[in-house]
A = this chain, B = another copy of it.
Amino acid sequence: MDARMTTDPMIESPQTEPQASSELDVKPETPEETKPAKQVRMPDPKLDPNSPNVFEVRDLNLYYEKFHALKNVTIDIPKNHVTAFIGPSGCGKSTLLRCFNRMNDLIDGVRIDGSITMEGQDIHSKDLDVVNLRTEVGMVFQAPNPFPMSIFDNVAYGLRCQGIRDMKKLRVVVEDSLRKAALWEEAKDHLHRNALKLSGGQQQRLCIARAIALEPKVILMDEPTSALDPIATAHIEDLIEELKKLYTIIIVTHSMNQAARISDKTAFFLLGDLVEVGDTSEVFHVPRDKRTEDYISGKFG
């Protein structure tokens, strides 16, 4: 219900006649309604800002130059849940993830069609400021990448970029973010030490704190633990478990075990196709698709 995997060529075109789209619509004969040009640019009437989904992706196709990296992907990302993307290397997980905060804009030769809406608003529309989008959608990367500054400055970075200079406010937010990222206890006495002096796992939590400081709605994570050892990984996983109460989390992971452990929903990709998406326990217990089954049980072909 919340994920359509079938390729539905009709989805982009209005499925209902304009006249029928709303019962409150009392003037079906207005000239605007009948102009075909208007109809094409009209937002999909089905988009509901109060839906339980943060993101709704519809028939997304993404090309790197000629290479078709995402094929007709349609998926919903539910609020305050952890959604995991799994699949073999090169299947497009990271690519889709980067679509959500438009980091793909930075890559040349990327062409996108289809729509992604965030709480009802098309994130590719002209009105939307990418820089703002990125403050609402935080991101954590594979290798921990704190800036070579103090811990405090790292967390305050995003705020300062927004023009916030008031130290009192900054201090409050930094403490709060570090607490949420379960780093406060370890870091509170060294706030002005270089962040590079932290251990790998702590650095990654710092990166999470840094993203949290901007009060994002969504946090994207691209293999956030693949550079960490099992214990540090377990800490991050616990943290994700905590964070999902406050944020929507989308995580790309190479480790099926990790996806199984921490996610509520799992999406399986193969060669740019979204093969299957569903509740994690379903996907790992009774996958619907043979390819998913083979992949998660570690055999192929």
Question: Do the beta carbons of B254 and A89 come within 8 Å of each other?
Answer: no
Question: Do the beta carbons of A234 and B88 come within 8 Å of each other?
Answer: no
Instruction: Determine the chain B residues whose CB is within 8 A of the CB of A67 once the complex forms.
Output: none
Instruction: Determine the chain B residues whose CB is within 8 A of the CB of A256 once the complex forms.
Output: 230
A229-B254, A254-B229, A257-B257 as given contacts; A234 in contact with B89, CB under 8 Å: no
List the 7 shortest-distance A-B pairs measured between CB atoms, nearest first.
A89-B229, A234-B298, A231-B300, A88-B229, A88-B231, A230-B298, A229-B254
- Please report the C-alpha to C-alpha distance between residue A299 and residue B234 in the assembled complex, in whole angstroms: 7
Question: Do the beta carbons of A254 and B234 come within 8 Å of each other?
Answer: no
- Please report the C-alpha to C-alpha distance between residue A89 and residue B256 in the assembled complex, in whole angstroms: 21
The number of chain A residues touching the other chain, given as a range, is: 10 to 19
- In the complex, per-residue mask of A33-46: 1 if CB is within 8 Å of any chain B CB, else 0: 00000000000000
Question: Number of copies of this chain in the oligomer?
Answer: 2
- Please report the C-alpha to C-alpha distance between residue A181 and residue B257 in the assembled complex, in whole angstroms: 28
Instruction: Determine the chain B residues whose CB is within 8 A of the CB of A88 once the complex forms.
Output: 229-231
Residue in B closest to A298 when the chains form the complex, CB atoms: B234
Instruction: Determine the chain B residues whose CB is within 8 A of the CB of A229 once the complex forms.
Output: 88-89, 254
- Residues 250-301 of A contacting B (Cβ, < 8 Å): 254, 256-257, 295, 298-300
- In the complex, per-residue mask of A111-144: 1 if CB is within 8 Å of any chain B CB, else 0: 0000000000000000000000000000000000
Apart from the given pairs A88-B229, A230-B254, 13 other A-B contacts in the complex at a CB distance below 8 Å: A88-B230, A88-B231, A89-B229, A229-B254, A230-B256, A230-B295, A230-B298, A231-B298, A231-B300, A234-B298, A234-B299, A234-B300, A257-B257
- Residues 81-119 of A contacting B (Cβ, < 8 Å): 88-89
A266 to chain B: closest CB distance in Å? 14
Residue in B closest to A230 when the chains form the complex, CB atoms: B298
Instruction: Determine the chain B residues whose CB is within 8 A of the CB of A298 once the complex forms.
Output: 230-231, 234
A209 to chain B: closest CB distance in Å? 22
Instruction: Determine the chain B residues whose CB is within 8 A of the CB of A231 once the complex forms.
Output: 88, 298, 300
Q: List 12 A-B contacts (CB under 8 A).
A: A88-B229, A88-B231, A229-B254, A230-B254, A230-B256, A230-B295, A231-B298, A231-B300, A234-B298, A234-B299, A234-B300, A257-B257
- In the complex, per-residue mask of A222-262: 1 if CB is within 8 Å of any chain B CB, else 0: 00000001110010000000000000000000101100000
Instruction: Determine the chain B residues whose CB is within 8 A of the CB of A230 once the complex forms.
Output: 88, 254, 256, 295, 298
- Please report the C-alpha to C-alpha distance between residue A299 and residue B238 in the assembled complex, in whole angstroms: 11
- Please report the C-alpha to C-alpha distance between residue A256 and residue B234 in the assembled complex, in whole angstroms: 13
